Amino acid sequence: MSTPKIIGKSILFSAPSGAGKTTIVKYLLNKYPNLVFSISACSREPREGEVDGKDYHFLGVKGFKQKIEENAFLEWEEVYANNYYGTLHEVVEKLWSEGKTVVFDVDVLGGINIKQKLGEHALSIFVQAPSIGELERRLRSRSTETEDKIQMRMARAKEELALAPKFDVILENDHLEEACHKAEELVNHFLNS
């Protein structure tokens, strides 16, 4: 994985599944016209209603592996067997060239990897639920996951929580509205520094 030509700022949000990072990111994107979401690439097939280039860049396993060989990713990870996610250099560099601040909603290892490459040009925020029990409750309330998937996500969440100190800020999402306002304060400070 190589480093892009850094010409702008970035804000990274990472969290275990169910912590609420995507909701916080959407709140910030609606609040700041200069923030723009970095659309990740993935190897999986689109889910119902998902659009290529809007939700993800759907590359398929073969296409994703080809991009790895081409060194086209800022970061990538095989999250589960043959289930790859990553950030393409060209996507980020295009957004920076338009004068935008790039917002990433990435898994925990992806967030750590991007922060290492972008350094002070990136603010890394780890969003966490108030407890592991609350995280599980939120995952179950979605009613979108099988029991096996929930157990897999919970095991992964425990590993991810141990990595929280590697982020610039740990943002607890106990009450969503408060977490959104705190995220807004963090972004304001970073953008004006």
CB-based contacts of 189, cutoff 8 Å, min separation 6: none
pLDDT at 3: 58
Residue 91 is predicted with a pLDDT of: 93
The rounded average pLDDT for each run of 10 residues, N- to C-terminus, in the chain (193 residues) is 73 89 94 94 92 94 97 89 91 94 91 93 93 81 80 84 96 94 97 91
Distance between CA atoms of 185 and 193, rounded to whole angstroms? Answer: 12
Question: What is the per-residue pLDDT for 2?
Answer: 55
The secondary structure of the chain in percent helix, strand, coil, rounded to multiples of 5, reads 45, 25, 30
pLDDT of residue 106: 87
State the amino acid at position 16 in one-letter form: P
Picking from 56, 29, 26, 20, the residue whose alpha carbon sits closest to that of residue 41 is 56
Domains of the chain: 10-191 (3.40.50.300)
pTM for the structure as a whole: 0.85
